[in-house]
């Protein structure tokens, strides 16, 4: 099983706008992108605190039946069943041991922490034909180079391009 950072990203590199919103993605929601198939193969999710709180604004917990980690420095009350809060330092030891994929849902800081800890196997990015201008970047800055190997590409009629990269260790 793999650990994958699966994300939609604007052409200029943002996963959310300057207010943390993702409304700019709505015109691009389509079953052809394969999200439901991807989600069916996911046994665990890893989220940052802001991504966790945003997910709760969309309705009930969107990942029932999956193990979950919320990376945070502050306690969280009333976590959904199967979800635990962990610090960045605890992340490598806390990663779920599941028989399906682990999805790093976001955000960019958590994805960077997972990359830095050597926990990411693949990045599967859906590049959206929008320039957001400012906002939350795909990954927080890093000094060290990470080498990726292109595993797959796919283009969609909506102008979205899927890029799947393997992390070279």
Q: Where are the domains of the chain?
A: 3-167
pLDDT for the residue 118: 93
If you average pLDDT over residues 70-91, what whole number do you get? Answer: 93
pLDDT for the residue 143: 79
pLDDT tens digits for range 93-102: 999 889 999 9
Q: Output 138 or 106, whichever has higher pLDDT.
A: 138
82 pLDDT exceeds 90?
A: yes
145 pLDDT exceeds 90?
A: no
Q: What is the 3-state secondary structure (H, E, C) of the chain?
A: CCEEEEEEEECCCEEEECCCCCHHHHHHCCHHHCHHHHHHCEEEEEEEHHHHHHHHHCCCCCCCCCEEEEECCCCCCCCCCCEEEECCCCHHHHCCCCCCEEEEEECHHHHHHHHHCCCCCEEEEEEECCCCCCEEECCCCCCCCCCEEEEEEEECCCCCEEEEEEECC
Class of the 3-167 domain?
Answer: alpha beta
142 pLDDT exceeds 90?
A: no
pLDDT for the residue 92: 92
């Amino acid at each position: 099983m793999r650990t994958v950072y699966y994300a939609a990203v604007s052409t200029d590199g943002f996963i959310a706008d300057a207010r943390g919103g993702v409304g700019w993605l709505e015109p691009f929601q389509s079953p052809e992108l394969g999200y439901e198939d991807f989600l069916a193969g996911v046994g665990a999710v890893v989220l940052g605190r802001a991504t966790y709180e945003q997910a709760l604004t969309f309705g009930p917990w969107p990942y029932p039946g999956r193990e979950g980690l919320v990376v945070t420095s502050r306690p969280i009350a009333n976590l959904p069943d199967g979800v635990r809060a962990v610090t960045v330092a605890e992340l490598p030891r806390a990663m779920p041991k599941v028989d399906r994929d682990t999805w790093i849902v976001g955000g960019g800081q958590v994805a960077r922490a997972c990359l830095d800890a050597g926990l990411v196997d693949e990045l599967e990015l859906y590049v959206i034909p929008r320039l957001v201008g400012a906002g939350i970047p795909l990954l927080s800055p890093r000094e060290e180079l990470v080498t990726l190997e292109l595993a797959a590409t796919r283009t969609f009629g909506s102008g979205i391009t899927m890029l799947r990269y393997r992390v070279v260790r």
